Every structure is written in C-alpha cells, then in structure tokens.
C-alpha cells in the first residue's frame, strides 16, 4: 500500500515525540515533514510487569507530557490538524525486559550474559520471595546462562501511539519482531561496549548497525525499521486511522 505522504498532500502537521535519531530517520524516509519534541519524563518511574503493557504505558505517558507542553496550540479550533507520534521499545530476552542499559557493564551483561551457579539463583529467589525451597541443593551444580543474546533469540516489543490533537482521537498498536542470534564472540562484545554509542538503545545493542547485523544476526523475523524503534507499516496505518477517526 502506498503511503499517505507519497500519494496525497494532506493539510496536517506531525510532531514526533522522540529524541531517537533512528525514529527521526525512519519517519523522514517515509516522506513526512515533522518537528521533534522530547517528553522528558522519568521512564524508570513507570513500571509494568509485562513488556507489552510497559511500552504502551510509556508511549502514552510521553504523549501526555508533550500535550502539556503544547497547551492549546494544536487543539480544537487550531488552523491545522496536528498528529503527535510517540512510541517506546524494550527488548525481551529469556522473558526478561531489557530497556536502555544504565552503564557499559550492564550493556555487556545484556549481550553476553552472566553465569551464576544454581545455588546463587536459589538464594536469590529465597531472599526475594521469602519462601523456603524443599529438598537439598547441590553445591556442585553446573552454572547456567541467566541472560544474554548469544546463540539465543530476543524480541523487540514496540508500541506506537498516534494522537490527533485536533480531534482527540488516538490510535495505537504493537509490532514485535523476533531476532535470532549467532554465537557472539567476546572480542565483538568488548568492541561494541567500548564504542558506547552502539549500546545506548533498548536492549543494549544497535542490532541493525552495519557493524552488527551481518556478524551476529542469524535471522530477523520482522522488519529492520521495527527493530530500530519505529515500524513503518504500523505507523502509516495509525496515521491513516487517526485522520479518519471521529473525535473521542
């Protein structure tokens, strides 16, 4: 399906509520002109147990924060229809939510994983959940990989929200590509972690960067733009629906 931007000139403007260079690049490649605003919210203050609920809550919080900054500039009665696009993404590996790492060491852990003995894990569970485990624990139990992408898979959980500020209509949806990884050598991990800018994204690794994609990705089930944080097809669909939707 051809995009709205390539087929028709619509009298609306777009605000991209994101400071992500990748999202800016993707939206520009879709043919849209837009301005950028940052929500400047404390994302760590918004917590949900399920990744799909977390990204939805964060995208909605970003939209609300930007609406407060705009006040009535783009609301009903304004001369031009205005759409606000906000989104969020987390990586999920082995059922664990991975947001943007807080340090180089955490980025390394996301990619490589950490090995812990079975005894250490049981002690952690006991301290966290305050419950007793039945049966003995073998101190000689082999260690196992608790986290990490190497020779495994992860999911990039995206939620995109398009808010029509002129009508109040909102449309949102999820897109979740699957990434299957090759074995990731230690020297590769050291190199990307030391670069810094390669790990400053959700999940701790810019998976579609040319220095990453061909070397460690075995298979991508989905699209590269979705892995980068703004799925084109979903975003185009939500823009269309938000323009067509009646006021809420």
- What 3-state DSSP class applies to 96? strand
Closest CA to 184 of 208, 156, 209, 217: 217
CA separation, residue 60 to residues 57, 67, 174, 204 (Å): 5, 11, 13, 23
Output the 3-class SS for 52-120. Answer: HHHHHHHHHHHHHHHHHHHCCCCCCCCCCEEEEEEEEEEEEECCEEECCCCCHHHHHHHHHCCEECHHH
Q: Catalytic: which of 29, 40, 88, 190?
A: 88
| Antiparallel, parallel or unpaired: β 12-16 and 34-36 | parallel
Structure tokens at 59: 């995208």
Active site residue 49: no
Torsion of CA 122, 123, 124, 127, to 10 degrees: 120
Tokens 């999940």 sit at which residue? 203
Region label for 188, one of left (φ > 0), alpha (ψ between -120 and 50) or beta (otherwise): alpha
Structure tokens at 26: 């993707």
Instruction: Establish how many alpha carbons lie within 13 A of residue 210's alpha carbon, considering only the half-sphere containing its beta carbon.
Output: 0
Catalytic residues: 88
């Amino acid at each position: 399906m051809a995009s709205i931007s390539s087929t028709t000139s619509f009298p609306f403007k777009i605000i991209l509520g994101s400071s992500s260079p990748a999202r800016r690049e993707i939206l520009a490649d879709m043919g849209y002109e837009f301005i950028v605003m940052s929500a400047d919210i404390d994302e760590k203050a918004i917590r949900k147990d399920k990744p799909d609920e977390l990204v939805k809550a964060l995208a909605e919080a970003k939209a609300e924060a930007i609406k407060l900054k705009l006040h009535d500039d783009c609301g009903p009665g304004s001369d031009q229809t205005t759409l606000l696009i906000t989104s969020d993404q987390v990586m999920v590996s082995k059922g664990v939510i991975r947001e943007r790492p807080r340090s180089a060491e955490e980025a390394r852990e996301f990619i490589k994983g950490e090995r812990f003995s079975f005894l250490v894990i049981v002690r952690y569970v006991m301290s966290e959940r305050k419950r007793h485990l039945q049966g003995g624990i073998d101190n000689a139990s082999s260690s196992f990989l608790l986290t990490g992408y190497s020779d495994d898979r992860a999911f990039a959980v995206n939620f995109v929200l398009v808010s029509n500020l002129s009508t109040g209509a909102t449309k949102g949806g999820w897109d979740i590509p699957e990434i299957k990884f090759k074995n990731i050598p230690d020297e590769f991990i050291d190199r990307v972690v030391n670069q810094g800018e390669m790990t400053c994204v959700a999940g701790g690794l810019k998976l579609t960067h040319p220095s990453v994609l061909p070397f460690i990705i075995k298979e991508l089930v989905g699209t590269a733009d979705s892995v980068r944080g703004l799925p084109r097809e979903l975003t185009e669909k939500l823009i269309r629906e938000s323009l067509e939707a009646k006021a809420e």
